[in-house]
Chain A
Amino acid sequence: MPDGPAYIIVIGAGKVGFYLTRHLLQSGYEVALIEKDPTRASLVAAQLGTGSCLVGDGDEMAFLATSGIERADVVAAVTGDDEDNLVACQLAKRQFHVPKTVARVNNPRNVQLFHQLGVDVAVSATELILGVIETGLASHGDVLEISISGSESSLVRVTVPVGPATGRQMSEIAELAHERVLLLVRDGREMPLDTPLETGDQIVMFTARPVSDFSLEAPSLAAIGVR
């Protein structure tokens, strides 16, 4: 690493980009967050409290050149569109010789493709979550949410804590009847959806609400005893 903190460019100020940038800033990195929607950019800039949010297209070369990209140590493209993330990383690599490019991959099948096309690190949230579910490494009482790009929907995974839900079937819990429960996982194995719940079970459900709304107000979470 050269003198001073590393310079990181984050492309896409959605939820992933916002929290990533905030975390990187708190860790002392120099960060520029690039967002093409001016309304979203000004909202995010106000929340981050710095001048680190630039309004522009992360795939527009003329704009990238103004962001100091040629001295960036890392470019992380984390929009909800795989094609935009791919092109942003390829331009960063080929035109601006950025040493490390990171892409968020929405369709897990693209992980291999992105590597093949020159992206250094391709991260698929779907794969990560699947990994966590399959290895049963989840902590207790938590809620994990993934927004589904291009929609107001999300995927939510809840770990059942000691509480009101244990010993009951999901169908007996009225608040859960509104949710589309996709999976019940116990010790890494998928269980029938009518199995009485136990502490540590993981419920994966689809909800038509965006992530932030869900955790704040979902009655189904309260019914399980999470909130």
Chain B
Amino acid sequence: MGCGRVGSTLARDLAGEGHAVTIVDISRRAFERLGEGFTGQVVLGSGTDQEVLEQAGASDADCFISVTNGDNRNIMSAQIAREIFSIPRVMTRIYDPIRAKVYREIGLYTYCPTEIGAAIARTFFAAGAEEADRPLRAIAPAGVPAGA
């Protein structure tokens, strides 16, 4: 849910690997970020609307990821995915570290770009680029320089 930079990149990658991907956004123009040849499905509508999620196939989904630019929208849609559609794997993005902590405590898998960004910058400050890149190399090799 959310066809911004993160959502569109993720949807394109997963669809390219052969997964059945549906991406939801309230703006038709957002889908342009997917580029040519996107093999997944797009659904226009609000991801906090149960009918839209139904239409997007939430009843049969194995995994749900909410990455719109609104923390509360992500939180609400993730809870709909979990509680209403019983999707087994649900992940949400929450920029506000305090809210992230609250929803982690109730068992939502939450990633907080603010915490991650600050942690990387802190590592860079204390130990330099090599150290800061180390954890990223494992999960996001495209985002760091090759080698080493």
Residues of A within 8 A of B (CB): 59-62, 81-84, 86-87, 90-91, 94-95, 107, 109-110, 113, 116-117
What B residues does A116 contact at CB under 8 A?
83-84
* Contacts A87-B72, A90-B102 known; 10 new A-B pairs at CB < 8 A: A59-B71, A83-B72, A83-B73, A83-B77, A86-B72, A91-B102, A94-B102, A94-B106, A110-B50, A113-B79
Mind listing 24 A-B residue pairs with CB under 8 Å? A59-B71, A61-B98, A62-B98, A81-B72, A83-B48, A83-B76, A84-B72, A87-B72, A87-B75, A87-B76, A91-B99, A91-B102, A94-B102, A94-B106, A95-B102, A107-B48, A107-B49, A110-B50, A113-B80, A113-B83, A116-B83, A116-B84, A117-B79, A117-B83
Question: B128 contacts the other chain (Cβ, under 8 Å)?
Answer: no
Name the CB-closest residue of A to B68.
A83
A113 touches B50 (CB 8 A): yes
Question: B141 contacts the other chain (Cβ, under 8 Å)?
Answer: no
Shortest C-beta distance, A36 to chain B (Å), equals 12
Shortest C-beta distance, A92 to chain B (Å), equals 11
B51 touches A109 (CB 8 A): yes
Given known contacts A94-B102, A117-B79, A59 and B84 CB-to-CB distance under 8 angstroms: no
Distance in angstroms between the alpha carbons of A84 and B50 in the assembled complex:
16
What A residues does B80 contact at CB under 8 A?
113
Distance in angstroms between the alpha carbons of A84 and B80 in the assembled complex:
14
Distance in angstroms between the alpha carbons of A59 and B77 in the assembled complex:
16
B50 touches A109 (CB 8 A): yes
Question: B70 contacts the other chain (Cβ, under 8 Å)?
Answer: yes
* B contacts with A: majority SS: helix
B99 touches A61 (CB 8 A): yes
What B residues does A91 contact at CB under 8 A?
99, 102
Distance in angstroms between the alpha carbons of A82 and B77 in the assembled complex:
11
A-facing residues in B93-109 (Cβ within 8 Å): 96, 98-99, 102, 105-106
Name the CB-closest residue of A to B98.
A61
Name the CB-closest residue of A to B96.
A60
Distance in angstroms between the alpha carbons of A91 and B71 in the assembled complex:
13
Shortest C-beta distance, B100 to chain A (Å), equals 11
Name the CB-closest residue of A to B103.
A90
The 5 closest A-B pairs by CB, nearest first: A83-B72, A83-B76, A61-B98, A87-B72, A83-B73
Shortest C-beta distance, B129 to chain A (Å), equals 33
Name the CB-closest residue of B to A62.
B98
Distance in angstroms between the alpha carbons of A66 and B75 in the assembled complex:
23
Distance in angstroms between the alpha carbons of A68 and B139 in the assembled complex:
43
Distance in angstroms between the alpha carbons of A113 and B84 in the assembled complex:
8
